[in-house]
Amino acid sequence: MEKKMCMGLFSGSIDRLTAAGVILSGAAAHDMEVDVFVLLMGARSFMKVNADNIDSLSESPQLKEEFLDSLKKLNVKPWQEFFKEAKELTKVRIHICGLAGKIWGGEKLEDFIGLADDICGIAEYITAAQEADLHLFI
C-alpha cells in the first residue's frame, strides 16, 4: 500500500526550502505519494520573479551567507532541484494556495515556477492533511 505525505510549506526561507527539498527526496526514495501545499511566504518563493533571488528568501539574514557557503562547500544542490528530482521519481504534486498567490501578485499558474501543478483553496489542503499518513508543516 502506497503511503501518502502531505506538506504545508509556509516558509519561504532558503534553509526551510532546502529542508523541504531534502524531505521530499526521502519521500521519493520511499516511493511515497506527496502533496505539497505552498502557503503564504512559501508562495512568494515559488513566484517566478522571486525564485532565484536568494536575498528575498532569507528569514535570518545574519546566517544566510554562512548557510549558503556551507551548501556550496558540501555541494548541496539548490532547493528547486530537490523538488524537481522528487517529482521525477514519485508522485509529487505542488499546489499553490490561491490566497497566498494573490497576496504576492500571482493569480495564474504561469506566475509561478514550473514546479507548481495548480492553484487551489485551503479546503484541498485540509482534506489532504486528513487523508495523509504523514503530515508536515514547514
Confidence at 61, pLDDT banded by 50, 70, 90: confident
Fold of 4-137: Hypothetical Protein Ychn; Chain: A, (3.40.1260)
pLDDT value, residue 110: 96
pLDDT value, residue 60: 73
The pLDDT of residue 53 is above 80? no
Q: What is the 3 state secondary structure string of the chain?
A: CCCEEEEEECCCCHHHHHHHHHHHHHHHHCCCEEEEEECHHHHHHHECCCCCCHHHHCCCHHHHHHHHHHHHHCCCCCHHHHHHHHHHHCCEEEEEEHHHHHHCCCCCHHHECCCCCEEECHHHHHHHHHHCCEEEEC
Of how many residues is the chain composed? 138
Confidence at 67, pLDDT banded by 50, 70, 90: confident
Separation of alpha carbons 104 and 60, rounded Å: 21
Segment 21-51, tens digit of pLDDT: 999 999 999 999 999 999 999 999 999 998 7
The pLDDT of residue 91 is above 80? yes
Neighbour tally for 131: CB within 10 Å: 11
